């Protein structure tokens, strides 16, 4: 899901307007690009008031005032292969990713408690019967992505490594290695996987 927030100038003329989306982003499921359709909006007269983004955390709870900063992406490492579109994707039974590097900014216990590995959620993943688990052992974090029916695509090996405690970071870019296996457990060739730090 993408949340788009735009601070429009007060001098816009009243009437129908459009927000044009321009992006070079691509998706493995769409050969051209992501949804870049223009977004229509109606510009009303007068001056509005700032929304407080009230929400309820659970049923029966009173409203809580939120902030747009609550939906901002945390600094994280995006771990994925380079995307190159092809009309014929090889399939795998499993992909093992190892991320090795020295973490700084907290204690050893805090690293383990604050680390989260999140698999990107795509609606077609259900076709692959995806499962993921991970474990950290010393300076190496191993991420296993498995498809019980052997239909895993390389672009589905896209995960985010994030930390709930601020300030945790690798002292230098981590080394990433990947092994690909077919449905019979035999190692096969697959694309290189990289880790990129995302700060906003």
Beta bridge pairs of residue 137: 140
Beta 76-81 vs 159-163: how paired, if at all? antiparallel
C-beta of residue 143 within 8 angstroms of C-beta of residue 99: yes
Q: What is the pLDDT of residue 80?
A: 92
pLDDT band of 60, cuts 50, 70, 90: low
Radius of gyration of the chain (CA): 21
Local structure of 51: helix, strand or coil: coil
For CATH 2.60.40, list the domain ranges present in the chain.
73-198
Q: Which fold has domain 73-198?
A: Immunoglobulin-like (2.60.40)
Q: How far is CA 73 from the centre of its chain?
A: 9
State the average pLDDT over residues 3-11. 76
C-beta of residue 199 within 8 angstroms of C-beta of residue 75: yes
> Comparing 4-8, 57-61, 117-121, 134-138, which segment has the lowest mean pLDDT?
57-61
Determine how many CB atoms are found less than 10 A away from the CB of residue 95. 23
Q: What is the pLDDT of residue 190?
A: 93
C-beta of residue 179 within 8 angstroms of C-beta of residue 187: yes
Q: What is the pLDDT of residue 10?
A: 77
What is d(CA 154, CA 145) in angstroms, rounded to the nearest whole number?
Answer: 10
Local structure of 133: helix, strand or coil: strand
pTM to 2 decimals?
0.74
Summary mean pLDDT of the chain? 83
Q: What is the pLDDT of residue 184?
A: 94
Determine how many CB atoms are found less than 10 A away from the CB of residue 17. 14
């Amino acid at each position: 899901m993408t949340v788009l927030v735009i601070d429009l100038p007060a001098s816009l003329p009243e009437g129908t307007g459009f927000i044009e989306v321009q992006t070079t982003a691509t998706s493995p499921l769409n050969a051209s690009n992501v949804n870049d359709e223009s977004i229509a909006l109606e510009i009303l007269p007068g001056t509005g008031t700032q929304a407080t983004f009230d929400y309820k955390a659970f049923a029966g709870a009173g409203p809580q005032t939120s902030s747009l900063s609550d939906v901002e992406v945390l600094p994280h490492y995006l771990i994925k292969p380079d995307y190159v579109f092809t009309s014929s994707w090889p399939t795998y039974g499993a992909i093992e990713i190892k991320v090795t590097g020295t973490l700084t900014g907290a204690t050893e216990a805090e690293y383990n408690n604050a680390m989260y590995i999140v698999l990107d959620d795509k609606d077609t993943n259900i076709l692959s019967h995806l499962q993921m688990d991970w474990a950290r052992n010393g300076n190496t974090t191993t991420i296993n992505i498995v498809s019980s029916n052997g239909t895993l695509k390389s672009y589905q090996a896209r995960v985010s490594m994030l930390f709930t405690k601020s300030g945790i970071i690798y002292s230098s870019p981590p080394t990433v290695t990947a092994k690909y296996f077919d449905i019979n457990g035999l190692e096969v060739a697959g694309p290189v996987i990289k880790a990129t730090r995302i700060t906003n």
